[in-house]
Amino acid sequence: MRWVETAGGYAVTLDGTRVLCRNAAGRTLKQVPAKLRDDAEVVRLRQLSEWLERHERECRAQVDTWLVRSLPVPARLIAEVWPDAAWQGALRDLVVAPVGADGGADAERAGFLRDADPGRGLGIVDLDGDSVRLDAEQVLFPHPVLLDDLDDLREFAAELGVEQGLDQLFREVWPRPETVDDAALEWRAYADAKFAELRHATARAMAHGYRVRGGYAVCSLTEEGRALEAAFWLGDEYPESETYTGALEWRAAGGRRVPLGEVGPVAWSEGVRMAALVHAGRVPKNEFDESDEDGAGER
């Protein structure tokens, strides 16, 4: 943005989401002087900054929803929002693939998203390192647990200098352990974690973007067109009361608990990820064994 003149010979501008100020001599100051705090131009720029930060969070949240819920996205929509820096920051360098005939990602035509144009389609760097255009009408941003050779992809991304604004390739993933009882209705790898106060557990869940409802941290999911939610028990006593976490479960529409054998790889990974993030804030025990207690084999 250009510099905007304000009182006392000062000028202000917006650098990203930060308000900058320079004095009459043209020197940029470390912070906006207190006497300009209520200046109309400073207030206007601060309000704009707050809106931009909120817009950026909303864009990231929407793209995260596309990723976690395996939702097909019109390529034209991506092209329309691409000029917006907030959208581009969330989308650029994500692995993108056309929707295949089976409704899943066509992995053979996948690549890192580098450009989007309404007339020319999506520009990608494919997995051979070539710059090509996708002419697909709809695309998917595959969840990393669905990507074959994930470690190789991560290495290739590092070679390309890929910097994803949203965790995709380097998102924590938890493949289903082979020892899972398919008929069981809950997973207890993260149960019995102590929190000095229930509000510590709920605050940690909400800080990572999860809702808390009825004593559970909840993550809404969609896999193969079926709506699910993962629910991790935190407790339902007073906010200041001591609590211990319980089991992780998955529910279908209507609240029916889903047998673990029916939970797909994305829903499993994201549910366990939620439980692990909350569990990490527990009260530590000296005798606690920190070695991969969940047995889930994080990649």
pLDDT at 287: 46
Q: Per-residue pLDDT for 142 more than 70?
A: yes
Residue 33, domain extent: 4-54
Report the pLDDT averaged over residues 45-70.
91
Q: What percent of the chain has pLDDT over 70?
A: 95
Q: What is the pLDDT of residues 242-264, one digit of tens each?
A: 999 999 999 998 889 999 999 99
Same domain as 180, residue 215: yes
Q: Could you tell me the pLDDT band of residue 147, with boundaries at 50, 70 and 90?
A: confident
pLDDT at 100: 83
For the record, the structure tokens of 86 come out as 């907030």
Whether residue 268 is contained in a domain is answered as yes
Q: What is the pLDDT of residues 11-25, one digit of tens each?
A: 999 887 889 999 888
pLDDT at 299: 41
Whether residue 64 is contained in a domain is answered as no
Whether residue 60 is contained in a domain is answered as no
Q: Could you tell me the pLDDT band of residue 286, with boundaries at 50, 70 and 90?
A: low
Whether residue 190 is contained in a domain is answered as yes
Same domain as 233, residue 128: no
How many domains does the chain fold into? 3
Report the pLDDT averaged over residues 121-133.
91
Sign of torsion, CA 280 249 184 247? positive
Cα 78 to Cα 165, 247, 282: the distances in Å are 15, 39, 40
pTM of the model: 0.76
Q: What is the pLDDT of residues 105-125, one digit of tens each?
A: 888 889 999 999 998 999 999
Which of 160, 193, 227 is where one domain is finished? 160
Same domain as 150, residue 125: yes
Pick the more confident residue, 83 or 225: 83
CATH assignment at residue 207: 3.30.310
Report the pLDDT averaged over residues 126-136.
90
Q: Could you tell me the pLDDT band of residue 97, with boundaries at 50, 70 and 90?
A: very high
Same domain as 182, residue 290: yes
Q: Within a 13 Å sphere around the CA of 164, how many CA atoms are in the beta-carbon half?
A: 21
Same domain as 180, residue 246: yes
Same domain as 83, residue 27: no
Whether residue 59 is contained in a domain is answered as no
Same domain as 278, residue 201: yes
SS3 94: coil
Same domain as 251, residue 187: yes
Say if CB 248 and CB 186 are below 8 A apart: yes
Whether residue 106 is contained in a domain is answered as yes
Same domain as 74, residue 17: no
Whether residue 40 is contained in a domain is answered as yes
pLDDT at 296: 44
Say if CB 185 and CB 156 are below 8 A apart: no
Which of 113, 131, 160 is where one domain is finished? 160
Q: Within a 13 Å sphere around the CA of 165, how many CA atoms are in the beta-carbon half?
A: 18
Cα–Cα nearest to 182, from 282, 277, 270, 259? 259
Q: How far apart are CA 283 and CA 268, in angstroms?
A: 25
Same domain as 212, residue 282: yes
Q: What is the pLDDT of residues 199-208, one digit of tens each?
A: 999 999 999 9
Same domain as 116, residue 83: yes
pLDDT at 69: 85
Whether residue 165 is contained in a domain is answered as no
Q: Could you tell me the pLDDT band of residue 230, with boundaries at 50, 70 and 90?
A: very high
Pick the more confident residue, 296 or 55: 55
Q: Per-residue pLDDT for 232 more than 70?
A: yes
Same domain as 272, residue 207: yes
